[in-house]
Chain A
Amino acid sequence: MNRFAVIILFFMILFSAATWAYSSVPTYPEVTSGKKITFPRDYGSHDAYRTEWWYFTGWLETASGDPLSFQITFFRTRPEIETGNPSKFAPEQIIFAHAALSDPKTGKLLHDQRIGRVGFGIIDASQEDAEVKLLDWQLKRTAEGVFASKVAGKDFQLDLKMKPSQVPMLNGDRGYSRKGPKPSQASYYYSVPQLQVTGSVVSGGKAIAVTGRAWLDREWSSDVLPENAVGWDWTGLNFDDGSALMAFQVRGANGEAVYAGGSFRSADGKKTILSPDDVQLKPKRIWTSPKTGAEYPVEAEFVVRIGGKLKRYPLKPMFDAQELTGPFTPTYWEGAVSTPGGRGYLEMTGYADKIAL
């Protein structure tokens, strides 16, 4: 869900808002409850909506048992440009991708990105199934239903096949996931936890075979976060027993949650939808980024009410320095975390910006 603001901030930086009235601008469909999510159609792109992403995060293991973690994200956005431009270069759709590889041995986060406007067969996102092409980066759901992605960054490469072991988990009300008090502040959102990963990683010039477990977030929407939100915290955790937890909170300027939510699915497939009252995040240890000065609660505890019982999920980062900065992105922390009996990713945004303010 949470990547809304990533996209928004990103576009704020890149594209200045027009200060005059256009003759016509695109209209974005509103996210409403009751729309049925279908597959494979909804693996593919939804071009009419403002923003969308395919967000893979996961833990990997080399043959010698060393842990690594990765993130591959393809964002799509439909900018608010004047419609009717017959140019094939008209930036009707922009695709942005971000990939990162964390290695606890080096304590380093390698990351890189690609961006471009859809067109000319060079950059494209299929509206039928998961198939995104962005220059030399790609994502494709194969005939066997495996998500295959190949990305090559400046100092690393990822070539991963991610095979679903469970059906998609529809978040919110059958995929209608609210982000704020207004019904329109919502997205279509499902996750595919417990993806089984095989493939190879090139790091330090060497190709290493890896296996692992990953998480896919698929989300698309048109409206943005509540006006008083400054950032959010999100986690997606794969548990060793096959269960999965997704939880988030949207933070206001005072650091308090403006909205919250999540989903828990047990190993037997029983799903619990978490309402704003069911999710709480408690910072445990603050890490200050030497690069940006931002203070992130890199150790935190999600307290979640499942089936009337409070459950505590203390999160520990793989290592502290998993902050991301880049020309097309705002500064945020996105890193591998572990919790007793499970592993996943934690995303924290709006901390660097707050400091800037």
Chain B
Amino acid sequence: MASLRQNDKSGPIWRWLFIGQLRTFPFRYIFAVLSIAIGIALGFSVHLINASASDAFGDAVRNLSGSSDAQVAGATSLGFDEQLYTRIYQLPEAADVSPVIEMSAVLGETEARIKLIGIDPFRAGAITPVLIGRQVISDEQSAGRTGGQPSFNINAVYLSDAALDLSKTKVGSFVKIRANGAIHDFQVAGDLPGIEAGQPVAVIDIAAAQWRFNRLGVLDRLDIKRAENSTQSSLARALGKMLPSDARLSGAENEIEKRTSLSRAYRVNLEMLALVALVTGGFLVYSAQSLSAQTRQQQFALLRILGLQKSSLQRQLLLEGLALGLVGSVLGILLGYGFAYLVLAIIGSDLGGGYFSGSTGPIDVTASAIFVFSGFGIVTAILGSFSPGRRAAGLNPAQAIKTSADNLDGAKQPVWLPGTLLILLAGVLVILPAIDGLPIFGYLAVAAILAGAIWLTPWLARTLLAPLTRVSNRDVAFDLALNHLLRSPTQAAAALGGIVASVGLMIAMVIMVSSFRTSVDNWLESILSADLYVSGGLVEASFNADQQEEISKLSGIAVAEFSETINVSLDPTRPPVNLIIRPVQSSQYPLSLIATVDEERAGIPIWISEPAARIYDLEIDQNIRLPIGAGGTPVYVAGIWSDYARQQGAIVMESDDYTQLTGNLERSELAISLQNPQNIDAETERLKAQISNIAGTEPEISNAAGIRNIALGLFDRSFAITYGLEAVAILIGMVGVGATFAAQVGTRIKEFGMLRHIGFGRREIIMMLAYEGILLGLVGLAAGVMSGLAISQILVHVINPQSFNLTMKTSVPYMLLLGISAALLITSGLTAIFAGRRAAAADALRAVNEDW
């Protein structure tokens, strides 16, 4: 505060200094402020979107599990034996237990995806009261006392507001519910006022859930209330001791953690993009401030001679930075809120990533978030002003007042050591492991490379440009341009900072996304080796052994392989993995294996996906227990296959092994190779009818090409926002570069006047500036491409494996990079010419006299 007050005293001068600059070079500051604002806006909106998504999810989980003190959940989506209900009820530590059936279901004509919950209202009433429906339909037979027959309405369903909306049903009407291969009509008896907005939930009686949807004898969850004289931990201990292998102790907090661990990596990647914009903004502030300090060098020198302290001068520039940062931050927070609002309203809280479903709550803005994000912007702007301020304050006033800005640092050899050290530091950082599942060191390495590259730019400019002086037969304009750049590498670097930062990060993202997409594409190619893929269709029906045999014998089918996917929980704090049951050794459709055991050995083999291997830290040949079959089953890891589809991990088990363990022969998926793949459409129709005849319900059949298109479409959609953010960052970077360059040219009016005096034509001056622009662009491009390549490798090999648990092969989109490079060079050349035309048009005589 003291410094502010001091500043107030001498206010008019400072205001005059700053406002004068603003008036003269508005665009320079506008772009600096804009890029800060964009950075803040991106970061803040990503933060808001995620906060509302995870809040909504957390609330929903807590909401649905009510006031239970502990939860036992099935280790697999097959659930657990219902007798566990009795055994847990009898624990002295348990006061009450509410049995629950839980499954995903399809509701009504609109085929709304909902969570279907079966409860015993008597038991749930005290533990999860939110699941108790509020009866809205009038009881037509309310004449209980006049001879009517009251009934226990097990065909009633209670729908949450979101489920009512999605299914477009009304209370009192009948609605079809499809789940687990069955379909049944229920009457909407009322709503679920306790369920949070945005949660599509349907509640039916547990007996109806077991009966109508083939879940007899099993439960999915037990919500437990502890006895008054027992503690949370003694309840957990008692449960831990008696739980069978197919059940797991779970809890609301676990559920929330599961969900956030899935989305966190995605969120971190997006926040990283926001950071990129912010850093670019910081460099633009740096460029703007460097240039403005240079332009005002003589003003500053005069003030110094008049008795102003060095520290006051530096403070002036820092305060200017603060002002830019403040304006940028306020703008950014407003933009960010607006953006978050739009995204939540239009795309949903998963940003198209498909990680959350249907749970969008209100935007929750906290003062601390605003404080942190605007703080980022202000600090970035102040940091951007720090070094120009120091340089301005450090100049010898006596010399500076006489000399014009440009060629003061010409004699100084640019330093390369700090930049090199930063890049070496990055090399060390990439070796370090993730912290708590987040690639923190990876991001630090990205920052180190970026900072190092920018620090090295003056050196790089000199190193790259110096050899050109030896080239003979140059024209004068080129000579002058080269000379100018070589004499003032710092000034060049100021312009280049923004280019290097935005180009580097852009190239890194482009390479990463392209590598990801190419790997996914190749992988899809390798796994989609059958012609047709059949699933049980809307009713999720499965095929029994007889139906399977019958289908296999249908004419036109060369190969038919049946499979089934269930969920299995290996760790209660993580999302369940998919257990895929299919033929492996005898299969016509090989897994995309990346590692296998050398020799077969005794025991049951499983093949795990790469994400599963990373998440659960599993290796080839390792023994683990799977929670299927009575008492769990020991298995060993026979291979690891690459998988881009199931981030939570997947396990493949031989169909025969699974049948032997569980006695379950039902399979709901089918891969078919046709004898006549060229007639695929006709064959699909024919098979659809035949399978429909055998199974009794119409199956869903997709062909390999269709699935691949859908998958890649999903991929592109989830990266669409990434592309969008990239484009914005680049645009701001480019425009910022243009503004910087134009500003630099503006400071050289005198020089152009002089050149005109000694016989240079306008054309030559413009040519000179074009050369300068292109040379600068080249240097920036070189630094940007190099740092971009390095960063892309960090993204591909460190950050993505650490956050998404999958690896990919680098694939450089050369054409795209060439295009970007050409665009950059052309832009910088054109900007230079545009700026030069204005400069060269100025009156030569006036320009030379412009001295004070």
Contact = CB atoms under 8 A, between A and B. Distances in A.
Contacts of A88: 82, 210, 217
* B89, B99, B145, B147 interface centre (most CB from chain A within 10 Å): B145
A12 B122 contact: no
A120 interface: yes
Contacts of A230: 145
B154 A81 contact: yes
A122 interface: yes
A94 B152 contact: yes
| Chain A interface, DSSP helix/strand/loop, else mixed | loop
B122 A117 contact: yes
* A5, A9, A82, A87 interface centre (most CB from chain B within 10 Å): A87
B96 A135 contact: yes
Interface string B204-225: 0111101100001100000000
A229 B146 CA distance: 8
B142 A12 contact: yes
B125 to A, nearest CB: 8
B675 to A, nearest CB: 43
Contacts of A81: 151-152, 154
Contacts of B156: 16
Interface string A71-112: 000000001111001111111001000000000000000000
Contacts of B205: 89, 91
Contacts of A229: 145
Contacts, number: 117
A42 B560 CA distance: 63
Nearest to B155: A18
Interface string B133-155: 00101011111111111111111
A116 interface: yes
B85 A91 contact: no
A9 B120 contact: no
A356 B89 CA distance: 40
Given A12-B142, A229-B145, A19 B152 contact: no
Given A17-B140, A85-B211, A122-B89, A8 B216 contact: no
Contacts of A90: 154, 207, 211
A17 B154 contact: no
Nearest to B148: A17
B155 A82 contact: yes
Interface string A1-25: 0000100110110111111100001
Interface in B108-147: 120-123, 125, 135, 137, 139-147
Nearest to B152: A79
B187 A19 contact: yes
Contact of A91 (B137, B139, B150, B207): B207
B120 A89 contact: yes
Given A80-B152, A90-B207, A117 B120 contact: yes
A355 to B, nearest CB: 16
Interface string B184-216: 000101000000000000000111101100001
Nearest to A120: B86
A202 interface: no
Contacts of A94: 122, 152
Contacts of A225: 145
Given A15-B153, A20-B187, A224 B144 contact: yes
Nearest to A82: B154
A221 to B, nearest CB: 14
Contacts of B140: 17, 19
B223 to A, nearest CB: 15
B144 A9 contact: yes
What range describes how many residues of A lie at the interface? 35 or more
A316 B126 CA distance: 37
Nearest to B118: A89
A110 B123 CA distance: 22
A87 B207 contact: yes
A16 B189 contact: yes
Contacts of A85: 154, 207-208, 211
B187 A91 contact: no
Contacts of A135: 96
A120 B154 contact: no
B207 A17 contact: no
A227 interface: yes
Given A89-B207, A116-B123, A15 B145 contact: no
Contact of B86 (A12, A16, A79, A122): A122
Contacts of A122: 85-86, 89
A85 B208 CA distance: 8
Given A81-B151, A91-B152, A120-B89, A227 B146 contact: yes
Contacts of B207: 85, 87, 89-91, 117
A324 interface: no
Contacts of B85: 120, 122
Given A85-B211, A229-B145, A91 B154 contact: yes
Contacts of B125: 327
A12 B150 contact: yes
B144 A8 contact: yes
A21 to B, nearest CB: 11
Contacts of B155: 18, 20, 82
B149 A16 contact: no
Contact of A227 (B89, B145, B150, B210): B145
Nearest to A136: B95
A82 B156 CA distance: 12
Contacts of A327: 125
B150 A17 contact: yes
Contacts of B137: 16, 19
Contact of A15 (B147, B150, B206, B210): B150
A37 interface: no
B102 to A, nearest CB: 14
A283 B771 CA distance: 113
A256 B82 CA distance: 52
A105 B150 CA distance: 40
A146 interface: no
Contact of B151 (A8, A80, A224, A227): A80
Nearest to B206: A89
A20 B140 CA distance: 11
Nearest to B156: A16
Contact of B153 (A8, A18, A116, A228): A18
A306 B146 CA distance: 32
A121 interface: yes
A43 to B, nearest CB: 25
Contacts of B208: 85, 87
A300 interface: no
Interface in B6-25: none
Contact of B122 (A8, A19, A116): A116
A124 to B, nearest CB: 11
A115 interface: yes
A278 to B, nearest CB: 25
A116 B120 contact: yes
A248 B413 CA distance: 113
30 contacts: A12-B144, A16-B153, A16-B189, A17-B142, A17-B150, A20-B155, A25-B151, A79-B151, A79-B152, A80-B151, A81-B154, A85-B207, A86-B216, A87-B206, A87-B207, A87-B210, A89-B205, A89-B206, A89-B210, A90-B207, A91-B152, A115-B122, A116-B122, A120-B82, A120-B86, A122-B89, A225-B145, A227-B145, A228-B146, A327-B125
Interface of B: 82-83, 85-86, 89, 96, 99, 120-123, 125, 135, 137, 139-156, 187, 189, 205-208, 210-211, 216-217
Which 9 A/B pairs are nearest by Cβ-Cβ distance?
A79-B152, A17-B141, A80-B151, A87-B210, A89-B207, A11-B150, A12-B144, A227-B146, A87-B207
Interface of A: 5, 8-9, 11-12, 14-20, 25, 79-82, 85-91, 94, 115-117, 120-122, 135, 224-225, 227-230, 327
Given A89-B82, A225-B145, 10 more contacts: A9-B145, A18-B155, A25-B151, A85-B208, A89-B207, A89-B210, A117-B120, A122-B89, A224-B147, A227-B147
